[in-house]
Amino acid sequence: MLEKRSRSNDNEPSHSNIKRPKRAEVNFLPNFPQGKDPSSLEQLRQTIVEEVKKTEKNLPFIRKMMETTFPLRRQTIVMSCPPVNEIMDLWPALKIELELYAEFQRITNQNLPNTFYAEFDWHLPRLVTLFRQKASKTGKTADALAEILKIHDEQELHDIHTKRTTVLHTLPVYLREDVSGFFRTCTDESDEPELDGVAVALLSVVSDHDTSPVHYQPVKISVIIESDAVVSLPRIGDAFLDYSGEEAQRQISQTTMDIYVVHKEGADDAEEPETVGVVIEALDFLTCCPRLLHQALLWIQPPGETLPVSSLSGP
């Protein structure tokens, strides 16, 4: 009689916490460069830390060293899955915006800002039209949209950054989402709000006299992940973009996505849908984000896929 044995061995280390590759992670766990080992790469990491501390940083040198130490970074993330703040402490160069984008490209072979903004900006005119149509009707959602669009129209400068800010603020209103815990605000003269237990948020630091619910020219916007401010940017669009890059250090996924609408039986397509839903393959990634971010990240399309804008037909 054969004895059935468990595959797990109490004396062996558990592999349950090892990060699994996602389809978009082209360079999931690269080999060390020829002639390099963990010890020599660790020395380079410490050199990067010291260089980042300098007032006048040698950015080309940092870029070269970050490229060389990429396999060590990936080994740490894949094998240990450390918290974001620990990654940022070990690799402070990731707080440099251009280095964050470079890291995303090392992992996925995709240019993060070009991909994000090309798709997002392509949808901006249609979204603004959709929100204005809804704002012209009656109801709480329409009134809230009208207030934001009024603030938008009163801005002296109507460049692409103004439009992005408006759309990112009106999108959750249109979807009837409560994002009060995601969009946070404090003044530059006050203490930062308590962030313990905050998984993800965008913290806008504004001047004392800025009382607008939409901040087009904040002092800065900090990306909060796991209760820590990991990077600060000048605009909300950049903050959304950099959140994507930060999260890519742990969980990047090339998703199959679609947006669908549910109308009342017999309703015309021009009528407001009862439900706007999102079909996303990578639920393990998206369930950790606020639903507003789910929708905003949909404008990043994987190569070769087309997002059906017609399915967003509004009222």
Which of 108, 124, 139 is a domain's end point? 108
Report pLDDT for 256: 38
Q: Is residue 289 part of a domain?
A: yes
Domain count along the chain: 2
Q: Yes or no: say if 293 and 182 are a contact pair by the CB < 8 Å rule.
A: yes
For residues 166 and 124, give the distance between their C-alpha atoms in angstroms, rounded to a whole number. 10
* Among the ranges given (44-58, 86-100, 171-185, 285-299), the one the predictor scored with the smallest mean pLDDT: 285-299
Please state, for a pLDDT cut of 70, what percent of the chain lies above it.
68
Structural domain of 67:
38-108
Residue 210: exposed, middle, or buried by beta-carbon count in 10 A (0-12, 13-18, 19+)?
middle
pLDDT in the model for residue 24: 55
Q: Alpha helix locations (H) across the chain?
A: 38-53, 59-68, 70-80, 84-90, 97-108, 112-135, 140-153, 160-174, 236-247, 283-286, 291-297
**Could you read off the pLDDT of 243-293 as tens digits, one per residue?**
655 544 444 333 334 444 444 555 555 555 444 444 333 333 333 333 444
Query: To the nearest 10°, the Cα dihedral for 101, 107, 109, 110?
Result: -40
Let me know if residue 270 belongs to a domain. Answer: yes
Backbone angles phi, psi at 313, to 5 degrees: -50, 125
Decide if 86 is inside a domain: yes
pLDDT in tens, 213-253: 899 989 889 888 888 888 888 888 888 776 655 544 444 33
Assessment of whether the complete model's pTM goes beyond 0.85:
no
The pLDDT tens digits of the residues spanning 35-78 come to: 999 999 999 999 999 999 999 999 999 999 999 999 999 999 88
Q: Taking 60 as the threshold, does the pLDDT of residue 133 lie above it?
A: yes
